[in-house]
Structure formats: structure tokens, C-alpha cells
């Protein structure tokens, strides 16, 4: 046991290698948070476009969702990093490139979640709101969306947990996230198991905290019914 503690000290403590994990954790959280904001904003917009009576808007929205969901996120990430952000944009921070790529990817999934949540509500509620003289936007804001939120919250939680774990591929474009930090430690110590286990535990803790917070939000929403 003491010998293994010495190994852990050599892997993480000596030369302050644990700092790679700290910095990787900050990068992963920042990327996930910014990606989630982009994904939510884009997802709401695309969902409303899908539900629009304007066929051009709905077709564009469905095409976006079809293309994004039909291609691997790592391919999208590489396209943004190596094709879009080149030339005058080559100095764009990796964190922003990753956040945009993951946010646009997440937006397609968020849009489908929101669209399904709204479409699953009784259509009579919208008709009743319109009959009372409420416009489409006001009806969505006051009647439809508040009810849809309670339906879409659980799948949204799952999407953002998946988003957090997806950021582990950002090392492909040079970002030093948690997984890349583990690889750096491995290259210096020739110990692969301990850094990977540490990263796995960190991800498990993060997703558990996030899931716990969302359960509390769900509970409060149910109590407000």
C-alpha cells in the first residue's frame, strides 16, 4: 500500500503534475458551459423554425438537424478547426473553436428535444390561447413553453451530460482538456492507468453533481404544479 502511495505521489505530486488535471478540468468546464449556452440558444431558435408555418424556415431547420445529427462530432470539430477557422481566423482561441463546434452540434439535439416537448402538448391549448386573442409568440411564452420545460428537462440533462463527456475529444485540435492532461502525465511518467482513472473519477463526480442539481430543479418544478 505504501509503495503504491509512493507511485501516486510520483505520478501526480512530483513536479506538480496534478496541475495538468486542474487546468484540464477548467478547460473542460469552460468549454462545456459555453457550448451549452450556444446549444440552448440555437436549439430554441431551430425548434421554433421547425414548428413554423413558413415552409422555408422549417425545411432549413430540419436540414440542419439532419446534417448535424448524421455526422460524427469529431468530424465537425475538425472541420471547424481546420477549414473554417483558418486564414484571418487562425488565431481564434481553441476554447472558442471547440465551444462553437460543440454548441452547434448540441443545438441540433436540443432543438429536437424542445420540438418533441412542444409537439407533445395538447394542441387545444394553443387553439384556446389564440381564441382568447393571444398572438403566437405570446401563446408560446405564456402557455406552451412553461409546460414544455417540465417535459424536456430530463432529456436536456442527459444531453448536457453527454456534452460534458464529448469535450474529451478536444485534444484532436490541441486543446488541453482532462483527457489530454492525462496523456501528458502518462508521457512523463509512463503510467497510464492512474491518470486515466483520475480523469474517469473527475468526470463521474462532475456528471453526478450536475444530475443531482437537475433533480432538485425537477422536484421544485413538480412542487409548483
Q: Which CATH class is domain 33-164?
A: mainly alpha
Residue partners of 30: CB distance under 8 A and separation at least 6? 95, 99
Q: How many CB atoms lie within 10 A of CB 140?
A: 18
User: Per residue of the chain (225 residues), what is the pLDDT tens digit?
Assistant: 778 788 888 889 888 999 999 999 999 999 999 999 999 999 989 998 998 878 899 999 999 999 999 999 999 999 999 998 887 677 889 999 999 999 999 999 999 999 888 887 777 777 777 777 777 677 777 777 777 777 788 888 888 889 999 989 998 898 889 999 999 999 999 999 999 999 999 999 999 988 888 778 777 766 665
- State residue 221's pLDDT score: 67
- State residue 3's pLDDT score: 81
Vertex 129 angle, CA 128 and 133, to 5°: 110
Vertex 105 angle, CA 23 and 62, to 5°: 170
* Per-residue CA distances from 183 to 89, 168, 172, 200, 225 (Å): 28, 12, 12, 13, 48
Residue partners of 45: CB distance under 8 A and separation at least 6? 111
- State residue 134's pLDDT score: 76
- State residue 197's pLDDT score: 95
pTM: 0.87
Segments making up each domain of the chain, as ranges: 33-164, 176-224
Amino acid at each position: 500500500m505504501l509503495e503504491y502511495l509512493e507511485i501516486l505521489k510520483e505520478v501526480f505530486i512530483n513536479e506538480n503534475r496534478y496541475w495538468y488535471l486542474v487546468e484540464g478540468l477548467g478547460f473542460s468546464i469552460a468549454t462545456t458551459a459555453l457550448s451549452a449556452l450556444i446549444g440552448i440558444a440555437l436549439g430554441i431558435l431551430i425548434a421554433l423554425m421547425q414548428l413554423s408555418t413558413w415552409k422555408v424556415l422549417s425545411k432549413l431547420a430540419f436540414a440542419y438537424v439532419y446534417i448535424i445529427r448524421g455526422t460524427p462530432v469529431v468530424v465537425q470539430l475538425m472541420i471547424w478547426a481546420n477549414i473554417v477557422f483558418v486564414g484571418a481566423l487562425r488565431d481564434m482561441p481553441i476554447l472558442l473553436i471547440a465551444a462553437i463546434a460543440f454548441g452547434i452540434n448540441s443545438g441540433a439535439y436540443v432543438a429536437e428535444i424542445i420540438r418533441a416537448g412542444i409537439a407533445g402538448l395538447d394542441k387545444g391549448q394553443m387553439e384556446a390561447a389564440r381564441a382568447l386573442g393571444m398572438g403566437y409568440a405570446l401563446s408560446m411564452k405564456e402557455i406552451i413553453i412553461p409546460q414544455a420545460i417540465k417535459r424536456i428537462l430530463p432529456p436536456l440533462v442527459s444531453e448536457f451530460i453527454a456534452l460534458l463527456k464529448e469535450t474529451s475529444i478536444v485534444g484532436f485540435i490541441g486543446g488541453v482538456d482532462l483527457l489530454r492532461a492525462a496523456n501528458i502525465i502518462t508521457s512523463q511518467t509512463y503510467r497510464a492507468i492512474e491518470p486515466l482513472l483520475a480523469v474517469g473519477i473527475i468526470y463521474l463526480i462532475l456528471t453526478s453533481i450536475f444530475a443531482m442539481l437537475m433533480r432538485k430543479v425537477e422536484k421544485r418544478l413538480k412542487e409548483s404544479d
